[in-house]
Structure 1
Amino acid sequence: MLLRSALTFATTSASKIYVNPEVEHVSSIRERFSVLPPAVVAIEGPSSAKLTPEEAMFVNRTIVGSLVRATCAGELQVDVVTLKATITAINNRFGWYYISCESCVKRATLHDGVFICNNCKQPIKYPLAMFCINLQVEDPTGTTTVVLLNSTTERLLDVSAKKLINKFPEGDTSVPLELQALVGKEFVYKLKLNKYNLVEGLQDYGVSAVYTPVEELEVAYEKNAQAQASQNRADCSSSSQMGGSNERKRKLSTVIEAVEAANEGGNGAP
C-alpha cells in the first residue's frame, strides 16, 4: 500500500511475520545493509497493556446484572470492565461479518456490483471481510449482548472471516460451525465501553479481549470477594452501632453483589 509516498503494510492478527528468514534473497539483502545502524525502535504501550492475562481478566470485574443496571442508569464510572459469562446464542439478525473499506475499515455497501465505503464515499478496490458477531451471554444475574469484532475473533478462532465465507455458496450468510461451537462455552470478556454504553445506555458491549477462565484463579478471587464483603458488613455494622444515621444507605460494590447473588443461588433462593 502506498500512502503519502511511503510504503506501508496492512496486516491482521492472522498474518504471519518472519524476521530474517534463512532464504537466499533475504540473506543477500541482509549482508548489503549490515553496515547500516538498526532503525527499529521499541514502542512502550500503556501500563494496562503490561498486565498478564491472569491479572487482566480480573480488572474491574463485574456481573451482568450490575453492568446492565449501571448502563441503563448512566452510572458507569469506568470504560473498561471484565465479565465472566456463558455464550447462550449467536444473534445473526445482522449477519456475522461485514465488508469494509481497505483504508478506514468502515462498513461498505454494494452499489451496482461495486463496494462503496460508507465513510470515505469512494469505490473500494480491495474490500475486506471483517468479523462482527453479536453474542448473547448470561451469568446467574442476567443476560446481555457482547460484540466480537475482527481482531478479537481472529485471535479466538485462529481463522479469518474470508476463509469462513469461502466455505459457503455466494449469498449464504449461515453461521459457520466454528462460531456455533462457541455456544455453551464460558469466557471472561474484557469490555471496552464507548459513548453508546456510557451515554446512551445501550447494552451492545464491544469485546477487546477474550480469556479462558482459570478455576484456581476464580476460586481465589471469590474467596477474596467474600472476605471483602464480610469486612464491609462489619464496617457498616460498626458505624451503625456508633450512632450513625439509620437513613444512611450503603451502595454495594459489584464484587459484593456478585457474592450475595452466588450465596442466594446456593441457598435455593428464587
Structure 2
Amino acid sequence: MSLDMILMDEQGETIHATIWKNLIDNYKPRIIEGSIYALSNFKVQEDARYQPVKNLLKIVFVYNTNVKELDADVIGLLTKIKKLKSRIIMKNTANPRKRDIREIELLISKDDTVRITLWGDLAHSLNEDVVGKHTVVIVTSTMVEGLQGTLSLKSTNGTRLYIDLDISETWKLIDRVPYEETVPKLMEVDKSTKGTIQEQMFYNRRTLQDITQMRHDNPTDQDFVFTSKATIEPLENSSWWYMSCNVCNKMCTKVASKCHCRKCNACPEATTPRYWIRLQISDHTETTTCSIFDDEAQKMLKMTITDLLDSLNGKSEEIPKVIQQLCGKTLIFRFMLKDQTLIEGKEYYLVKKTFEPDEKLELQYSNRQAEKESHGRSLSDLQIRSGGRRGRPGGRQQSPRAPPAGGTRPELRTPRAKRTQLQQNRRETREPPLAGADAGRSAAARRSRADGAGNMRRRPAVSML
C-alpha cells in the first residue's frame, strides 16, 4: 500500500511520486493537493511497474524527506480586472465581517495566465483606471487555490502588490508580447446572475444527461453555468455538515478530541460549522449527485446551521427532518461545472442557486422549445427540397430551367413580375418550334385550338416563387 501523487514543476514537467505505507502518517497531513512545496532529501528511481505520466523516473519519499510549503510570487502583465465586490465572511459566527474582493488576471508567459483574488485593502490597490493601459503587476506571498485549467491564487495577510516597478523584469515582459494583446480589459460579469429571476431560471437550460456528458479540454474559454429542472431522490448519504477552519475556511477533521486543519497543518483556535448537503437528483434523462454548500443550503432550508445543530441536542450524525423533507421536491438547480468534471470526467456538480419552478413559465418555455424544434425541422425539409430538383405532378421530374440566350435572368422583386417572367420562361423552354399553318397564329389562338382538340397542357405545380 502506498500514497501516490503527480508532481509538476515550474516548467510544467510532471513526475510520479510515492510515499510508502510506513511513512503515510508522517507526510499525508502536510501535503495538500494544489499547493506548492519545496522538496529535498528524496530518492529517485526508475518507474518500472506503474507509469501515470510519460516520465520514466519517479520520486520516493524517505524518512528524512523535507517538505516545505511555499508562498507563490507572481509577475505578469495585467490582462483582465473585475469590478470590486463585497462578501460576508464568518457568517455563522458571533462576529460576521464584510470584506471587499477583486479578481484580476495576469499573463505570466506567452501562453499562460494566472487568476488572482485580492482580498481586503489589496482589492483597492487596482481599479478600473488601469483599463486600456499597459500595466505590469507583481504579487507576492499568495496561496494556491487551484491548478486545473488555469492557475488560481488568492492573497494572504502577507501578500504585497506592486505596480509598474522600474526593474529589468518589467521591461522584459513588456517587450515579449505585442501591446494590443496585453491592454487590460474589464472581465465579463457572470451573465447567469443577471436579469430577472425568470431569466435566471432558464439560463442555459439543459437536461441532466446533457450536463453529465459534457466535456471540454479548455474550460476557461467559455461559460459553464447551466440550469436544470430535477427532482430530489431519497437521501442515502448521512453526511450533511462539516467543521471549517476559521483561518482558511477548509474542512477540519477530528484528531483525538481536537479539530485538525490539513491546509494549515495545525489545530485552529476557532472553527465554524457549515452545510455540505449531498443530494441525488433525477429528471427524465439521468440521475446524478450534486453538492449544496453553506449559503445556498441555508436559503433552501430557511435555517442557519447553528440553529439546526442546536435543535438536534447533540444528535448531529442523523439527517435532520428538515433535510429529509426535501425528498420528492422538484427544483431548478443552477450548476457551475468545474475542471474535475469537464476535463477528468468526475461526478462533481456544485449547486450555486436553486429556484422554485413556476408551472406557467415552464409551460411557456416548453412551448417555445417545441416551436423552435418544429421551425428547425421545417427549415431542414425546405433546404432538402430546394437542394434537389422540384417534383411535378404524377411523379415526373422537372428539368432544370436554362437561362435565356441573353445571359442570366435579372432579379425580379415583385410577385407579379416573378409570375410574368415565370410564364414567359415556360413558353420559351417548353413550346416546340412552330411550322406550317400554326406559325402565323397568335398564342391565344393556338391555345384555343389545343383546348378544342382535348389536348390541354397540365401546368406544372410551383410550391414557392
Instruction: Using structure 1 for the length normalisation, give the TM-score.
Output: 0.69
**Which whole-Å CA distance do the structure 2 matches of 1:226 and 1:65 have between them?**
19
**Which runs of structure 2 are paired with 1:135-174 in the superposition (5 Å)?**
135-170=279-314, 172-174=316-318
Alignment partner of 1:81 is 2:230: no
**Which whole-Å CA distance do the structure 1 matches of 2:330 and 2:214 have between them?**
23
Counterpart for residue 133 of structure 1: 277
Indicate the percent of aligned positions where both proteins have the same amino acid: 26
Distance 1:9 1:199, change over 3 A: closer
Following superposition, the deviation at residue 75 of structure 1 comes to 10
Counterpart for residue 185 of structure 1: 329
> What is the SS of the residue equivalent to 1:109?
strand
Alignment partner of 1:100 is 2:244: yes
**Which whole-Å CA distance do the structure 1 matches of 2:213 and 2:342 have between them?**
12
Gaps of 5+ in 2: 1-86, 97-187, 389-465
Following superposition, the deviation at residue 90 of structure 1 comes to 2.0
**Which runs of structure 2 are paired with 1:116-127 in the superposition (5 Å)?**
116-127=260-271
Counterpart for residue 12 of structure 1: 91
In our comparison, the structure showing a higher alpha carbon Rg is 2
Structure 2: which amino acid aligns with 1:12?
A: K
Alignment partner of 1:91 is 2:170: no
Q: Cα RMSD (Å) of the superposition?
A: 3.0
**Which whole-Å CA distance do the structure 2 matches of 1:47 and 1:68 have between them?**
22
Instruction: Using structure 2 for the length normalisation, give the TM-score.
Output: 0.41
Following superposition, the deviation at residue 148 of structure 1 comes to 0.8
> What is the SS of the residue equivalent to 1:123?
coil
Structure 2: which amino acid aligns with 1:163?
A: D
Alignment partner of 1:214 is 2:293: no
**Which whole-Å CA distance do the structure 2 matches of 1:96 and 1:79 have between them?**
26
After superposition, give the CA deviation of every residue in 1:124-159 in whole Å (9 maximum; x if it has no partner). 122111111111111111211111111110111121
Structure 1: which amino acid aligns with 2:234?
A: A
**Which whole-Å CA distance do the structure 2 matches of 1:142 and 1:9 have between them?**
36
- Kept in 2, the 8 Å contact 1:13–1:154? The answer is no
Distance 1:171 1:181, change over 3 A: closer
Following superposition, the deviation at residue 193 of structure 1 comes to 0.9
Displaced runs of 4 or more, over 6 A: 13-17, 73-77
Following superposition, the deviation at residue 64 of structure 1 comes to 1.4
**Which whole-Å CA distance do the structure 2 matches of 1:91 and 1:162 have between them?**
23
> What is the SS of the residue equivalent to 1:90?
coil
Structure 2: which amino acid aligns with 1:86?
A: T
User: Which structure: greater strand fraction?
Assistant: 2
Which structure exhibits the higher relative contact order, with contacts defined as CA atoms closer than 8 Å and separated by 6 or more residues?
Answer: 1
Distance 1:212 1:121, change over 3 A: same
**Which whole-Å CA distance do the structure 1 matches of 2:330 and 2:94 have between them?**
27
Match of 1:46 among 164, 167, 189: 189
- Kept in 2, the 8 Å contact 1:14–1:160? The answer is no
Following superposition, the deviation at residue 53 of structure 1 comes to 1.3
Structure 1: which amino acid aligns with 2:224?
A: D
Counterpart for residue 254 of structure 2: 110
**Which whole-Å CA distance do the structure 2 matches of 1:215 and 1:183 have between them?**
19
Equivalent pairs counted in the alignment come to 210
Gaps of 5+ in 1: 1-7, 18-44, 245-270
Match of 2:211 among 57, 63, 67: 67
Match of 1:227 among 343, 350, 371: 371
Alignment partner of 1:240 is 2:384: yes
